[in-house]
Chains A and B, each alone.
Chain A
Amino acid sequence: MTNSSERTIEQRVQDVLARALGILVADPSAPPRMGSTPGWDSLGHMTVVMALENEFHTTLPSYRLPELIDVASIVKVLQSEQSTL
Protein backbone atom coordinates (compact mmCIF):
# COMPACT_ATOMS: atom_id res chain seq x y z
CA MET A 1 0.00 0.00 0.00
CA THR A 2 2.77 2.37 0.94
CA ASN A 3 4.65 1.63 -2.31
CA SER A 4 1.69 2.29 -4.58
CA SER A 5 0.80 5.53 -2.76
CA GLU A 6 4.46 6.62 -3.02
CA ARG A 7 4.40 5.88 -6.74
CA THR A 8 1.24 7.89 -7.10
CA ILE A 9 2.78 10.85 -5.28
CA GLU A 10 5.94 10.47 -7.33
CA GLN A 11 4.01 10.45 -10.58
CA ARG A 12 2.02 13.48 -9.51
CA VAL A 13 5.21 15.32 -8.57
CA GLN A 14 6.73 14.51 -11.96
CA ASP A 15 3.62 15.79 -13.71
CA VAL A 16 3.71 18.98 -11.66
CA LEU A 17 7.36 19.54 -12.53
CA ALA A 18 6.70 18.93 -16.19
CA ARG A 19 3.85 21.47 -16.22
CA ALA A 20 5.61 24.08 -14.06
CA LEU A 21 8.91 23.93 -15.93
CA GLY A 22 7.53 23.25 -19.39
CA ILE A 23 9.58 20.11 -19.80
CA LEU A 24 8.68 16.72 -21.21
CA VAL A 25 7.72 13.92 -18.84
CA ALA A 26 10.80 12.87 -16.92
CA ASP A 27 13.43 10.97 -18.78
CA PRO A 28 14.79 8.29 -16.39
CA SER A 29 18.33 9.00 -17.58
CA ALA A 30 17.99 12.70 -16.76
CA PRO A 31 15.61 13.07 -13.79
CA PRO A 32 14.60 16.66 -13.07
CA ARG A 33 16.83 18.34 -10.53
CA MET A 34 17.13 21.89 -9.33
CA GLY A 35 20.07 23.62 -10.94
CA SER A 36 20.38 21.00 -13.70
CA THR A 37 16.98 21.06 -15.37
CA PRO A 38 16.45 24.08 -17.66
CA GLY A 39 14.14 26.57 -16.01
CA TRP A 40 14.54 25.10 -12.53
CA ASP A 41 16.83 27.75 -11.14
CA SER A 42 16.19 29.74 -7.99
CA LEU A 43 13.59 31.80 -9.83
CA GLY A 44 11.87 28.76 -11.28
CA HIS A 45 11.95 27.09 -7.88
CA MET A 46 9.16 29.23 -6.48
CA THR A 47 7.03 28.40 -9.53
CA VAL A 48 7.63 24.73 -8.74
CA VAL A 49 6.75 25.26 -5.06
CA MET A 50 3.50 27.07 -5.84
CA ALA A 51 2.55 24.36 -8.35
CA LEU A 52 3.25 21.63 -5.80
CA GLU A 53 1.18 23.38 -3.16
CA ASN A 54 -1.74 23.75 -5.55
CA GLU A 55 -1.52 20.12 -6.59
CA PHE A 56 -1.31 18.69 -3.08
CA HIS A 57 -3.47 21.35 -1.38
CA THR A 58 -0.86 22.15 1.20
CA THR A 59 1.33 25.03 2.26
CA LEU A 60 4.96 24.13 2.63
CA PRO A 61 6.86 25.94 5.38
CA SER A 62 9.67 28.21 4.19
CA TYR A 63 12.34 26.24 6.00
CA ARG A 64 11.58 23.15 3.91
CA LEU A 65 11.72 24.83 0.53
CA PRO A 66 15.50 24.48 0.09
CA GLU A 67 15.12 20.71 0.52
CA LEU A 68 12.97 20.38 -2.59
CA ILE A 69 15.76 19.70 -5.06
CA ASP A 70 14.55 16.61 -6.93
CA VAL A 71 11.59 14.25 -7.15
CA ALA A 72 12.72 11.97 -4.32
CA SER A 73 13.28 14.82 -1.88
CA ILE A 74 9.98 16.46 -2.83
CA VAL A 75 8.11 13.19 -2.18
CA LYS A 76 9.88 12.85 1.16
CA VAL A 77 8.98 16.38 2.24
CA LEU A 78 5.36 16.05 1.10
CA GLN A 79 4.93 12.78 2.97
CA SER A 80 6.53 14.23 6.07
CA GLU A 81 4.33 17.34 5.93
CA GLN A 82 1.19 15.29 5.36
CA SER A 83 2.02 13.04 8.29
CA THR A 84 2.28 16.02 10.65
CA LEU A 85 -1.21 17.28 9.77
Chain B
Amino acid sequence: MSTLAAVAEVHLLVGIAVAVAFSLAVSMVSHFQRSRYLCFFGLIGAAAYYRQAFAGFVVVSAIAYATLCWINRQTDRTRRWRRAGVVLFLLIAVFTLGRVQNWEHVLVLSSPVPLTLYSLDMWLVLRLVTLFWEVGAGSLQGPSLTAYIIWICLPFTLGGPILRPSQLPNVICINRSLWKSLAWWMKITTGAAMLIVGLALGAAQQFMSHRFSQAPLWNAATTALLYGPVGFYLTNAGYFHLMESLGQPAGFKLKESFNFPFGRENISIFWANWNMTATAVFRDYLFYNRWGLRTYNVYFNTLLVFTLVGLWHAANAYWILWGFLHGLLFCGFLIWRKYGNRLSGIPLRGTSIAQMAARTFTYVSVCACWYLPSKIIQKLGGT
Protein backbone atom coordinates (compact mmCIF):
# COMPACT_ATOMS: atom_id res chain seq x y z
CA MET B 1 0.00 0.00 0.00
CA SER B 2 2.81 2.42 0.85
CA THR B 3 4.50 1.56 -2.49
CA LEU B 4 1.27 2.43 -4.32
CA ALA B 5 1.03 5.68 -2.39
CA ALA B 6 4.63 6.52 -3.27
CA VAL B 7 3.98 5.79 -6.95
CA ALA B 8 0.88 7.99 -6.85
CA GLU B 9 2.88 10.80 -5.26
CA VAL B 10 5.59 10.61 -7.94
CA HIS B 11 2.87 10.68 -10.59
CA LEU B 12 1.38 13.84 -9.06
CA LEU B 13 4.75 15.56 -8.91
CA VAL B 14 5.56 14.63 -12.50
CA GLY B 15 2.16 15.97 -13.54
CA ILE B 16 2.85 19.27 -11.82
CA ALA B 17 6.34 19.54 -13.32
CA VAL B 18 4.98 18.88 -16.82
CA ALA B 19 2.21 21.45 -16.33
CA VAL B 20 4.65 24.08 -15.06
CA ALA B 21 7.02 23.52 -17.98
CA PHE B 22 4.19 23.67 -20.54
CA SER B 23 2.65 26.78 -18.99
CA LEU B 24 6.02 28.57 -18.89
CA ALA B 25 6.98 27.61 -22.44
CA VAL B 26 3.66 28.58 -24.01
CA SER B 27 3.13 31.81 -22.07
CA MET B 28 6.70 33.10 -22.30
CA VAL B 29 7.63 32.32 -25.89
CA SER B 30 5.17 33.66 -28.46
CA HIS B 31 6.46 31.27 -31.09
CA PHE B 32 5.35 28.29 -28.99
CA GLN B 33 1.70 29.33 -29.13
CA ARG B 34 1.43 27.98 -32.64
CA SER B 35 -0.50 24.77 -33.01
CA ARG B 36 2.42 22.60 -34.07
CA TYR B 37 4.40 23.62 -31.00
CA LEU B 38 1.42 23.05 -28.73
CA CYS B 39 1.13 19.56 -30.23
CA PHE B 40 4.85 18.93 -29.83
CA PHE B 41 5.03 20.10 -26.22
CA GLY B 42 1.81 18.31 -25.42
CA LEU B 43 3.23 15.02 -26.71
CA ILE B 44 6.48 15.56 -24.79
CA GLY B 45 4.50 16.32 -21.67
CA ALA B 46 2.30 13.26 -22.11
CA ALA B 47 5.40 11.10 -22.64
CA ALA B 48 6.89 12.40 -19.38
CA TYR B 49 3.61 11.89 -17.54
CA TYR B 50 2.77 8.41 -18.81
CA ARG B 51 6.36 7.16 -19.15
CA GLN B 52 6.23 3.43 -19.98
CA ALA B 53 2.49 3.70 -20.61
CA PHE B 54 2.98 6.44 -23.23
CA ALA B 55 2.95 3.98 -26.12
CA GLY B 56 -0.37 2.61 -24.83
CA PHE B 57 -1.71 6.14 -24.51
CA VAL B 58 -0.76 6.84 -28.14
CA VAL B 59 -2.34 3.59 -29.35
CA VAL B 60 -5.61 4.27 -27.53
CA SER B 61 -5.70 7.92 -28.61
CA ALA B 62 -5.03 6.98 -32.24
CA ILE B 63 -7.83 4.41 -32.26
CA ALA B 64 -10.10 6.97 -30.61
CA TYR B 65 -9.35 9.53 -33.32
CA ALA B 66 -10.00 7.05 -36.10
CA THR B 67 -13.31 6.18 -34.45
CA LEU B 68 -14.12 9.85 -34.13
CA CYS B 69 -13.61 10.31 -37.87
CA TRP B 70 -16.03 7.45 -38.49
CA ILE B 71 -18.68 9.10 -36.29
CA ASN B 72 -18.04 12.50 -37.86
CA ARG B 73 -18.61 11.18 -41.39
CA GLN B 74 -22.28 10.53 -40.57
CA THR B 75 -24.30 13.67 -41.26
CA ASP B 76 -27.73 12.35 -40.31
CA ARG B 77 -28.24 13.31 -36.68
CA THR B 78 -29.97 10.17 -35.50
CA ARG B 79 -27.50 7.82 -37.16
CA ARG B 80 -24.60 9.92 -35.91
CA TRP B 81 -25.89 9.61 -32.36
CA ARG B 82 -26.38 5.86 -32.80
CA ARG B 83 -22.77 5.49 -33.94
CA ALA B 84 -21.62 7.49 -30.94
CA GLY B 85 -23.79 5.37 -28.66
CA VAL B 86 -22.19 2.17 -29.90
CA VAL B 87 -18.71 3.66 -29.53
CA LEU B 88 -19.46 4.89 -26.00
CA PHE B 89 -20.69 1.47 -24.99
CA LEU B 90 -17.59 -0.21 -26.45
CA LEU B 91 -15.31 2.35 -24.81
CA ILE B 92 -16.78 1.70 -21.38
CA ALA B 93 -16.71 -2.07 -21.96
CA VAL B 94 -13.03 -1.94 -22.98
CA PHE B 95 -12.23 0.27 -20.00
CA THR B 96 -13.96 -2.05 -17.55
CA LEU B 97 -12.53 -5.22 -19.10
CA GLY B 98 -9.09 -3.67 -19.21
CA ARG B 99 -9.30 -2.92 -15.51
CA VAL B 100 -10.58 -6.36 -14.59
CA GLN B 101 -8.08 -8.20 -16.81
CA ASN B 102 -5.27 -5.80 -15.95
CA TRP B 103 -4.40 -5.18 -19.59
CA GLU B 104 -1.95 -2.43 -18.73
CA HIS B 105 0.32 -5.02 -17.18
CA VAL B 106 -0.46 -7.82 -19.60
CA LEU B 107 -0.18 -6.09 -22.98
CA VAL B 108 3.46 -5.17 -22.62
CA LEU B 109 6.01 -5.15 -25.40
CA SER B 110 9.24 -6.79 -24.42
CA SER B 111 11.97 -4.36 -25.32
CA PRO B 112 15.00 -2.87 -23.57
CA VAL B 113 12.47 -0.60 -21.90
CA PRO B 114 9.14 -2.46 -21.46
CA LEU B 115 6.38 -0.55 -23.24
CA THR B 116 2.72 -0.85 -22.34
CA LEU B 117 0.61 -1.21 -25.46
CA TYR B 118 -2.65 -0.34 -23.73
CA SER B 119 -3.28 2.58 -21.44
CA LEU B 120 -6.78 3.81 -20.68
CA ASP B 121 -6.91 5.36 -17.23
CA MET B 122 -9.93 6.88 -15.49
CA TRP B 123 -9.21 10.40 -16.74
CA LEU B 124 -8.53 9.46 -20.34
CA VAL B 125 -11.73 7.40 -20.55
CA LEU B 126 -13.81 10.23 -19.13
CA ARG B 127 -12.28 12.71 -21.58
CA LEU B 128 -12.94 10.38 -24.49
CA VAL B 129 -16.53 9.97 -23.28
CA THR B 130 -17.02 13.73 -23.47
CA LEU B 131 -15.44 13.79 -26.94
CA PHE B 132 -17.62 11.04 -28.42
CA TRP B 133 -20.71 12.43 -26.73
CA GLU B 134 -20.24 16.00 -27.95
CA VAL B 135 -19.36 14.98 -31.50
CA GLY B 136 -22.08 12.30 -31.59
CA ALA B 137 -24.70 14.72 -30.31
CA GLY B 138 -23.74 17.15 -33.05
CA SER B 139 -22.90 19.93 -30.61
CA LEU B 140 -19.30 19.83 -31.84
CA GLN B 141 -17.77 19.09 -35.21
CA GLY B 142 -15.01 16.53 -35.05
CA PRO B 143 -11.76 18.35 -34.25
CA SER B 144 -8.85 18.43 -36.66
CA LEU B 145 -5.94 16.13 -35.86
CA THR B 146 -3.93 19.07 -34.53
CA ALA B 147 -6.73 20.25 -32.23
CA TYR B 148 -7.27 16.68 -31.09
CA ILE B 149 -3.62 16.18 -30.18
CA ILE B 150 -3.54 19.49 -28.29
CA TRP B 151 -6.66 18.53 -26.37
CA ILE B 152 -5.79 14.89 -25.63
CA CYS B 153 -2.23 15.74 -24.55
CA LEU B 154 -3.02 18.93 -22.61
CA PRO B 155 -0.86 18.59 -19.48
CA PHE B 156 -3.36 20.37 -17.24
CA THR B 157 -5.88 17.57 -17.78
CA LEU B 158 -3.88 14.34 -18.02
CA GLY B 159 -4.63 13.44 -14.40
CA GLY B 160 -7.70 15.64 -14.11
CA PRO B 161 -9.58 17.91 -14.10
CA ILE B 162 -11.79 17.45 -17.16
CA LEU B 163 -11.77 19.94 -20.00
CA ARG B 164 -14.43 18.98 -22.54
CA PRO B 165 -13.50 19.37 -26.22
CA SER B 166 -16.07 22.16 -26.57
CA GLN B 167 -14.24 24.06 -23.83
CA LEU B 168 -10.92 24.07 -25.66
CA PRO B 169 -10.33 27.66 -26.80
CA ASN B 170 -10.31 28.27 -30.55
CA VAL B 171 -7.73 30.98 -30.06
CA ILE B 172 -5.11 30.75 -27.33
CA CYS B 173 -4.99 34.03 -25.37
CA ILE B 174 -1.99 33.87 -23.12
CA ASN B 175 -1.77 35.98 -20.01
CA ARG B 176 1.88 36.45 -19.25
CA SER B 177 1.17 39.08 -16.60
CA LEU B 178 -0.18 36.39 -14.27
CA TRP B 179 3.37 35.29 -13.52
CA LYS B 180 3.80 38.68 -11.82
CA SER B 181 0.39 38.70 -10.15
CA LEU B 182 0.33 38.33 -6.36
CA ALA B 183 -3.24 37.00 -6.43
CA TRP B 184 -2.24 34.29 -8.90
CA TRP B 185 0.78 33.29 -6.80
CA MET B 186 -1.51 33.09 -3.76
CA LYS B 187 -3.65 30.60 -5.69
CA ILE B 188 -0.57 28.59 -6.60
CA THR B 189 0.61 28.63 -2.98
CA THR B 190 -2.83 27.56 -1.77
CA GLY B 191 -2.91 24.65 -4.18
CA ALA B 192 0.61 23.57 -3.25
CA ALA B 193 -0.16 23.85 0.46
CA MET B 194 -3.30 21.74 0.10
CA LEU B 195 -1.38 19.09 -1.81
CA ILE B 196 1.45 19.00 0.72
CA VAL B 197 -0.91 18.78 3.70
CA GLY B 198 -2.91 16.07 1.93
CA LEU B 199 0.20 13.99 1.30
CA ALA B 200 1.43 14.66 4.83
CA LEU B 201 -1.87 13.40 6.26
CA GLY B 202 -1.38 10.17 4.35
CA ALA B 203 2.10 9.81 5.78
CA ALA B 204 0.82 10.73 9.24
CA GLN B 205 -1.86 8.05 9.00
CA GLN B 206 0.77 5.40 8.32
CA PHE B 207 2.99 6.67 11.11
CA MET B 208 0.15 6.76 13.65
CA SER B 209 -1.05 3.28 12.70
CA HIS B 210 2.44 1.95 13.22
CA ARG B 211 3.19 3.98 16.36
CA PHE B 212 -0.12 3.25 18.08
CA SER B 213 -0.79 -0.21 16.77
CA GLN B 214 -2.30 -1.17 20.14
CA ALA B 215 -5.14 1.28 19.66
CA PRO B 216 -6.95 -0.10 16.61
CA LEU B 217 -10.23 1.69 17.38
CA TRP B 218 -8.48 5.05 17.65
CA ASN B 219 -6.61 4.36 14.39
CA ALA B 220 -9.81 3.32 12.64
CA ALA B 221 -11.65 6.43 13.85
CA THR B 222 -8.91 8.87 12.88
CA THR B 223 -8.39 7.17 9.53
CA ALA B 224 -12.10 7.16 8.75
CA LEU B 225 -12.88 10.68 9.96
CA LEU B 226 -9.66 12.56 9.31
CA TYR B 227 -6.71 11.12 7.43
CA GLY B 228 -8.69 9.23 4.82
CA PRO B 229 -11.29 11.67 3.52
CA VAL B 230 -9.53 14.93 4.38
CA GLY B 231 -6.17 13.70 3.11
CA PHE B 232 -7.77 12.45 -0.11
CA TYR B 233 -9.62 15.73 -0.59
CA LEU B 234 -6.63 17.98 0.07
CA THR B 235 -4.33 15.96 -2.18
CA ASN B 236 -6.71 15.94 -5.13
CA ALA B 237 -8.13 19.41 -4.62
CA GLY B 238 -4.62 20.82 -4.27
CA TYR B 239 -3.47 19.13 -7.48
CA PHE B 240 -6.51 20.28 -9.44
CA HIS B 241 -6.19 23.79 -8.04
CA LEU B 242 -2.61 23.87 -9.33
CA MET B 243 -3.69 22.66 -12.77
CA GLU B 244 -6.43 25.32 -12.95
CA SER B 245 -3.94 28.01 -11.96
CA LEU B 246 -1.14 26.81 -14.28
CA GLY B 247 -3.52 26.62 -17.23
CA GLN B 248 -4.42 30.30 -17.00
CA PRO B 249 -1.16 31.94 -18.17
CA ALA B 250 -1.09 29.53 -21.13
CA GLY B 251 -4.61 30.56 -22.14
CA PHE B 252 -6.50 27.47 -20.97
CA LYS B 253 -9.40 28.20 -18.65
CA LEU B 254 -10.27 25.14 -16.60
CA LYS B 255 -13.41 25.11 -14.49
CA GLU B 256 -13.16 24.86 -10.74
CA SER B 257 -13.19 21.29 -9.41
CA PHE B 258 -13.57 21.55 -5.64
CA ASN B 259 -15.48 24.18 -3.69
CA PHE B 260 -15.17 23.27 -0.02
CA PRO B 261 -17.33 20.13 -0.20
CA PHE B 262 -16.82 19.19 3.44
CA GLY B 263 -19.06 20.89 5.94
CA ARG B 264 -21.99 21.09 3.51
CA GLU B 265 -25.47 20.56 4.87
CA ASN B 266 -26.54 17.63 2.73
CA ILE B 267 -25.11 15.02 0.40
CA SER B 268 -26.51 16.74 -2.69
CA ILE B 269 -24.61 19.96 -1.98
CA PHE B 270 -21.53 17.90 -1.11
CA TRP B 271 -21.55 16.26 -4.53
CA ALA B 272 -22.37 19.56 -6.23
CA ASN B 273 -19.02 20.83 -4.90
CA TRP B 274 -16.85 17.71 -5.17
CA ASN B 275 -14.73 17.02 -8.26
CA MET B 276 -17.17 19.14 -10.21
CA THR B 277 -15.75 18.73 -13.71
CA ALA B 278 -15.90 14.93 -13.42
CA THR B 279 -19.25 14.66 -11.65
CA ALA B 280 -20.75 17.00 -14.24
CA VAL B 281 -19.95 14.39 -16.91
CA PHE B 282 -21.79 11.67 -14.99
CA ARG B 283 -24.64 14.07 -14.30
CA ASP B 284 -25.02 15.29 -17.87
CA TYR B 285 -24.67 11.93 -19.58
CA LEU B 286 -26.15 9.49 -17.08
CA PHE B 287 -28.22 11.25 -14.42
CA TYR B 288 -30.39 13.04 -17.00
CA ASN B 289 -30.73 9.96 -19.15
CA ARG B 290 -34.16 8.42 -19.56
CA TRP B 291 -32.86 5.30 -21.32
CA GLY B 292 -35.33 5.63 -24.18
CA LEU B 293 -38.33 5.90 -21.88
CA ARG B 294 -40.67 8.88 -21.59
CA THR B 295 -40.48 9.00 -17.80
CA TYR B 296 -37.53 9.54 -15.54
CA ASN B 297 -36.74 7.47 -12.45
CA VAL B 298 -34.52 9.57 -10.23
CA TYR B 299 -33.80 6.74 -7.76
CA PHE B 300 -32.70 4.28 -10.42
CA ASN B 301 -30.55 6.90 -12.12
CA THR B 302 -29.03 7.95 -8.81
CA LEU B 303 -28.03 4.42 -7.85
CA LEU B 304 -26.73 3.72 -11.34
CA VAL B 305 -24.71 6.93 -11.56
CA PHE B 306 -23.02 6.51 -8.21
CA THR B 307 -22.30 2.83 -8.73
CA LEU B 308 -20.68 3.68 -12.06
CA VAL B 309 -18.72 6.48 -10.39
CA GLY B 310 -17.38 3.82 -8.06
CA LEU B 311 -16.58 1.52 -10.96
CA TRP B 312 -14.84 4.43 -12.69
CA HIS B 313 -12.45 4.66 -9.76
CA ALA B 314 -11.58 0.97 -9.93
CA ALA B 315 -13.15 -2.32 -10.98
CA ASN B 316 -13.14 -3.86 -7.54
CA ALA B 317 -15.67 -4.56 -4.84
CA TYR B 318 -14.48 -1.73 -2.58
CA TRP B 319 -15.07 1.08 -5.04
CA ILE B 320 -18.29 -0.35 -6.47
CA LEU B 321 -19.64 -0.64 -2.94
CA TRP B 322 -18.37 2.88 -2.17
CA GLY B 323 -20.34 4.22 -5.13
CA PHE B 324 -23.43 2.19 -4.27
CA LEU B 325 -23.39 3.44 -0.67
CA HIS B 326 -23.20 7.03 -1.89
CA GLY B 327 -26.12 6.25 -4.17
CA LEU B 328 -28.13 4.95 -1.22
CA LEU B 329 -27.22 8.02 0.79
CA PHE B 330 -28.32 10.27 -2.04
CA CYS B 331 -31.59 8.38 -2.44
CA GLY B 332 -32.16 8.83 1.27
CA PHE B 333 -31.68 12.55 0.82
CA LEU B 334 -34.13 12.59 -2.11
CA ILE B 335 -36.76 10.84 -0.01
CA TRP B 336 -36.15 13.27 2.85
CA ARG B 337 -36.41 16.23 0.47
CA LYS B 338 -39.70 14.93 -0.90
CA TYR B 339 -41.40 13.83 2.32
CA GLY B 340 -39.46 15.53 5.10
CA ASN B 341 -41.75 18.56 5.19
CA ARG B 342 -44.56 16.32 6.42
CA LEU B 343 -42.61 15.77 9.64
CA SER B 344 -43.27 19.23 11.03
CA GLY B 345 -42.98 18.15 14.64
CA ILE B 346 -39.21 17.60 14.62
CA PRO B 347 -37.75 19.66 17.52
CA LEU B 348 -35.16 22.35 16.74
CA ARG B 349 -36.01 22.09 13.05
CA GLY B 350 -34.73 25.09 11.11
CA THR B 351 -32.43 26.20 13.94
CA SER B 352 -28.68 26.63 13.77
CA ILE B 353 -28.32 23.49 15.92
CA ALA B 354 -30.24 21.54 13.31
CA GLN B 355 -28.00 22.97 10.59
CA MET B 356 -24.89 21.96 12.52
CA ALA B 357 -26.34 18.49 13.04
CA ALA B 358 -27.08 18.22 9.31
CA ARG B 359 -23.53 19.22 8.40
CA THR B 360 -22.09 16.76 10.92
CA PHE B 361 -24.35 13.99 9.70
CA THR B 362 -23.35 14.64 6.09
CA TYR B 363 -19.66 14.63 6.93
CA VAL B 364 -19.87 11.46 9.00
CA SER B 365 -21.93 9.74 6.29
CA VAL B 366 -19.39 10.62 3.60
CA CYS B 367 -16.60 9.30 5.83
CA ALA B 368 -18.62 6.15 6.52
CA CYS B 369 -18.91 5.49 2.78
CA TRP B 370 -15.11 5.51 2.64
CA TYR B 371 -14.73 3.23 5.64
CA LEU B 372 -17.62 0.78 5.45
CA PRO B 373 -16.95 -0.97 2.11
CA SER B 374 -13.75 -2.63 3.35
CA LYS B 375 -15.51 -3.72 6.54
CA ILE B 376 -18.45 -5.13 4.59
CA ILE B 377 -16.11 -6.99 2.26
CA GLN B 378 -14.24 -8.40 5.26
CA LYS B 379 -17.49 -9.55 6.83
CA LEU B 380 -18.48 -11.24 3.59
CA GLY B 381 -15.20 -13.09 3.60
CA GLY B 382 -13.44 -11.11 0.87
CA THR B 383 -9.96 -9.50 0.99
Contact = CB atoms under 8 A, between A and B. Distances in A.
Interface of A: 41-43, 45-46, 49-50, 59, 61-67, 84
Interface string B293-314: 0101010000000000000000
Given A43-B334, A46-B298, A66 B268 contact: no
B296 A46 contact: yes
Given A63-B81, A63-B136, A45 B268 contact: no
The 6 residue pairs across chains A and B that have the minimum distance between CB atoms: A66-B284, A63-B137, A65-B288, A62-B289, A46-B296, A42-B283
A46 B300 CA distance: 14
Query: Which secondary structure dominates where chain A touches chain B?
Result: helix
Contact of B288 (A41, A49, A59, A84): A49
Q: How large is the interface on B (under 10, 10 to 19, 20 to 34, 35 or more residues)?
A: 20 to 34
Interface string B246-278: 000000000000000000000010001000000
B81 A41 contact: no
Interface of B: 77, 81, 133, 136-137, 139, 268, 272, 283-285, 287-290, 294, 296, 298, 334, 337
A61 B137 CA distance: 9
8 contacts: A41-B268, A43-B334, A43-B337, A61-B81, A62-B289, A62-B290, A63-B136, A66-B285
Given A45-B288, A61-B81, A65-B288, A50 B139 contact: no
A82 to B, nearest CB: 14
A45 B268 CA distance: 14
A63 B268 contact: no
A46 B298 CA distance: 9
A57 to B, nearest CB: 12
Contacts of A84: 77
Given A66-B284, A66-B285, A84-B77, 5 more contacts: A43-B337, A59-B294, A63-B137, A63-B285, A65-B284
